[in-house]
A and B are shown apart, each in its own frame.
Chain A
Amino acid sequence: MEPVGAVATRTDRAPSVEGLDAASLLDLHRRMVRIRVFETEAGRLMESGDLPGFLHLYVGQEAVAAGALATLTDADQITSTHRGHGHAVAKGAGFRKMFAELFGRVDGYCHGRGGSMHINDLSIGMLGANGIVGAGLPIAVGAAFAARYRGDGSIAMTFFGDGASNIGAFHEAANMAAVLQLPVVFVCENNGYAEFTAQARHMRLDDVADRAAAYGMPSEVCDGMDAVAVRQACRRAVDRARAGEGPSLVEAKTYRYYDHQGVKGLRKPYRTQEEIDAWKARDAIELLEARAAADGVVDAAEFARVWEETRADAVDAIAFARASPLPDPATLTRDVYTD
C-alpha cells in the first residue's frame, strides 16, 4: 500500500527479489534483523532506566543500512549520524561492545567515553556515529580523499537525514566531493522528519536527491523500506565511485517507528497514528520475508533461525555489558591526546 503522510516517492515499488540468490537475501535479512533486535532491546533497556543518556533508535529504517552496507567491504569507510546504531550493526559491529558502550562500561566500543552517538570501529571502517547533524559528511569526504590519495581502491559512504540536507556541511561536502571527483556515496535516509518537523515544513522539495544536481552529481531515489532496492541503488553509486566516476547521492524514503529520541513521544504528538500504521504495514523485514517466501527463494525456517540466533546474541551481549566494570574515574583524562 502507499504510505500516507509527509513523504512522497517516485519509486517503483514492484517486487525486486528477482535475480537475487538466497545467500544475498539472507545477508540483507540478517543485517536488518540484527538492527531490529539490537534496537528493540536497547529501547527496552532505556524504558527500564538501565541506560544513561540519549537514545536515537533506528527501528523502521533497517532496509537502508542493510541495503547500503551490503555493497561495501571492511576496507570501505563510513560516517554515520546521531541515529547510528543501525549503520554500526550493519557494517559488522559486535553486540557485546555496542551494548557495553550504551551501559557506559569499560568494554564498550569507546570504553564508556563516547556513548550511543560515538560508537566507532576502525577495524571494519566504521568512522563513527556523530552527535552533530551533518558533521559526518565532510569527514567521509576526507576518508574518500585518503582512499584516492593512497590508491587503495576503497571508497567512503556517508549517511545523513532529510534534516541534515539543510545544513551547510551537507552542501559544502557535496560540492567538495564533486569538484574533487572523490569516491564517496551520499546516502540520504529520508524519514520525513527533522526531529519533530515534517519535511514539508523544512524544505520546498519532495526529493533531497534533487539537490545533487546543484553539485553536478548523479542521484536516484529508492524505496527505503525495500532492502533490495536500496542495495541496487547503492550498488550503482558504489560502482561509479570505484570506477573513479566521482560521488553520487542515493535517497531512500523510509520511516522511523520510534520517536526522535527514546521510544515513545513524551510531548505532543507530531505524527498521526494512521501515518505510522501505514508505514509499519510496509515493514522492511516483513516485506523481504514475505517476498522471498512467496518466490520460494528462502525457506521460512531459515529466517526463523536468524531471529533466534540474533535474540540469543543480544541476551549474551546484554549480560556481558551488565557484567562489564564501570570506568575508573582515575582514567578520566586519558586519551585526550596521543602521546
Chain B
Amino acid sequence: MAVRELTYVKAYTEALHQLMGADDDVFVVGEDVAGYGGVFHMYDGLLAAYGERRMIDTPISETAIVGLGVGAAARGLRPVVDIMFMDFLAVCLDQLVNQAAKMKFMFGGEVRVPMVLTVAAGAGLSAGAQHSQSLEAWLAHTPGLKVAMPSSAHDVKGLMVTAVRDDNPVVMMLNKKLLGAKGAVPEELYEVPFGQAAVLREGTDVTVVALGRMVVEATAAAGTLAAEGISVEVVDPRTVQPLDTATIAESARRTHRVVVVHEAVTFGGLGAEIAAQVTDAAFDHLDAPVLRVGAPFAPVPFSPALENAYLPDRTRIAEACRQITKRS
C-alpha cells in the first residue's frame, strides 16, 4: 500500500471521499457541511465530487438533523451526521440515546441503524465551556452506541471506514487540537477494528492507557521518563465502546502498574471504568492502585492560564508515572 503523510482532518475527508465513491448509500448531513465544507474543513471538496443529493446542508436543528439520520438509517441508508461540536449533543441527545441507540433492542432486533455521528471534541483552543468537552463517558454508558476516539491520522481513516460500514450507530470523536497533526496514512481504504486497543509503545514499569489526544501527551511523557529509567507502555483503546479490556489487563499483568489518562473530568469518567476492569481482571498482578489523570471537576475554562491548568498534559502524566512507580 502506498503511504503518505496526511493531516488528521484530511485523513477523515479522504476516508469519506472513498467511502462515498464506493457506496451510494453513504451521504453527509449537517450544518454547513456542503457549501462551506464544514467549519473544520472536514468536508472540503465533497460537494463538488458528490453533489447536493449526497451533501446536505441543514438548518441549525440538531434534533432534526440526528432524527433525519436515524430515519434514513432505519430505511437502510448510511448517513454520516455531522454535529459541529460535541457539546451540541446535549440539544439532540434524545435522538441519539433514546432513539438511535435503543431502536434495535426495543424493536426486538428487527431494525438496523447504520449511522455515523461525527463530532469535534476536546479542549485546548480557548473555545470555552460549551465548545470544548470530551463527553465519551456519557455515550459509552449507553447500550447500543459505539464510540471511537482516534488519536492519529492513521486511526481517523481506519476507524471512519469501520464506522461507516458498521450496522450500529457510531459516534466518531474527532479531536479539534489534533486536526492539523500529520501522520502516515495508506492511500487505500482500510479498517481499524473496533474494540482492539493499540500498544503504541512497549514498556515494563507502568502502563499508561490514554484516550484521544492524551495518547500524544502520554507518548511524549514516555520519552521523558525513558531518560529517567522508567519504562512506559502506552496503550490506546481507540474505541471506548466497545472497550478492549483484555489488552489493557494483559499489559497490566506485565507492568503491574496502570495510569489512565483522559481530558474529560476524572469523576465518573472512563478512567473509573478502566480502573475497575483492570482491578477485576488483574488485581493479583497490581503493585499499586490504578491512578487516574483527568480534568478537575469544573467546566472547561476559557483563559489559557486556566485551561492549561485544567487539561492533563505530558507533565502531569509523567508525574503520575513517577508517583506510581515510587509506591512499590
Q: What's the minimum C-beta distance from B108 to chain A, rounded to whole angstroms?
A: 4
Rounded to whole angstroms, the CA-CA distance of A339 and B168 in the bound complex is 9
Closest to A133 in B: B94
Closest to B241 in A: A337
Rounded to whole angstroms, the CA-CA distance of A223 and B61 in the bound complex is 32
B residues 58-78 near A (Cβ < 8 Å) are: 58-59, 61-77
Rounded to whole angstroms, the CA-CA distance of A11 and B70 in the bound complex is 36
Rounded to whole angstroms, the CA-CA distance of A157 and B63 in the bound complex is 18
A199 within 8 A of B: no
A139 touches B109 (CB 8 A): no
B304 within 8 A of A: no
A172 touches B63 (CB 8 A): yes
A173 touches B104 (CB 8 A): no
CB-CB under 8 A from A338, the residues of chain B are 104, 112, 114, 167-168
Q: What's the minimum C-beta distance from B255 to chain A, rounded to whole angstroms?
A: 31
A336 touches B105 (CB 8 A): yes
A142 touches B109 (CB 8 A): no
Most chain B beta carbons < 10 A, residue from A142, A143, A175: A142
A193 within 8 A of B: no
User: Which of B95-103, B150-158, B259-267, B275-283 sits within the interface?
Assistant: B95-103
Given A114-B107, A138-B68, A142-B72, residue A176 in contact with residue B59 (CB < 8 A): yes
Q: What's the minimum C-beta distance from A29 to chain B, rounded to whole angstroms?
A: 30
B111 within 8 A of A: yes
B168 touches A141 (CB 8 A): no
Mark contacts of B18-36 with chain A using CB atoms, 8 A cut-off: 1 yes-contact digit, 0 otherwise: 0000000001000000000
CB-CB under 8 A from B143, the residues of chain A are 336
CB-CB under 8 A from A14, the residues of chain B are none
Mark contacts of A117-133 with chain B using CB atoms, 8 A cut-off: 1 yes-contact digit, 0 otherwise: 01010100001101110
Q: What's the minimum C-beta distance from B35 to chain A, rounded to whole angstroms?
A: 14
Contact count band on A: 35 or more
Closest to A167 in B: B63
B61 touches A142 (CB 8 A): no
B228 within 8 A of A: no
Closest to B27 in A: A149
A residues 89-119 near B (Cβ < 8 Å) are: 108-114, 118
Rounded to whole angstroms, the CA-CA distance of A180 and B134 in the bound complex is 32
A173 touches B144 (CB 8 A): no
Mark contacts of A158-190 with chain B using CB atoms, 8 A cut-off: 1 yes-contact digit, 0 otherwise: 000000000011001101100110000000000
Q: What's the minimum C-beta distance from B103 to chain A, rounded to whole angstroms?
A: 7
Contact count band on B: 35 or more
Q: What's the minimum C-beta distance from B307 to chain A, rounded to whole angstroms?
A: 32
Rounded to whole angstroms, the CA-CA distance of A156 and B74 in the bound complex is 13
Rounded to whole angstroms, the CA-CA distance of A175 and B64 in the bound complex is 9
Rounded to whole angstroms, the CA-CA distance of A180 and B71 in the bound complex is 15
Q: What's the minimum C-beta distance from B132 to chain A, rounded to whole angstroms?
A: 24
Given A149-B77, A180-B56, residue A335 in contact with residue B105 (CB < 8 A): yes
Given A138-B63, A138-B67, A337-B168, residue A113 in contact with residue B74 (CB < 8 A): no
A317 within 8 A of B: no
Rounded to whole angstroms, the CA-CA distance of A169 and B61 in the bound complex is 9
A120 touches B70 (CB 8 A): no
Rounded to whole angstroms, the CA-CA distance of A264 and B243 in the bound complex is 48
Rounded to whole angstroms, the CA-CA distance of A145 and B65 in the bound complex is 11
Rounded to whole angstroms, the CA-CA distance of A139 and B75 in the bound complex is 10
Closest to B144 in A: A336
A45 within 8 A of B: no
Given A135-B99, A145-B68, A172-B64, residue A120 in contact with residue B75 (CB < 8 A): no
B106 touches A142 (CB 8 A): no
Most chain B beta carbons < 10 A, residue from A113, A139, A149: A139
CB-CB under 8 A from B61, the residues of chain A are 172, 175-176
Closest to A335 in B: B109
B75 touches A77 (CB 8 A): yes
B326 within 8 A of A: no
A142 touches B108 (CB 8 A): no
A146 within 8 A of B: yes
A137 within 8 A of B: yes
A229 within 8 A of B: no
- Name the contact of B111 in the complex, choosing from A122, A141, A145 (C-beta under 8 A): A122
Mark contacts of A328-339 with chain B using CB atoms, 8 A cut-off: 1 yes-contact digit, 0 otherwise: 000000111110
B residues 2-41 near A (Cβ < 8 Å) are: 27
Closest to A338 in B: B167
Q: A176-B65, A335-B109 are in contact. List 16 more A-B contacts (CB 8 A).
A: A77-B71, A109-B107, A122-B107, A128-B111, A132-B94, A135-B99, A145-B72, A149-B77, A169-B94, A172-B62, A172-B63, A176-B61, A179-B59, A335-B104, A336-B105, A337-B146
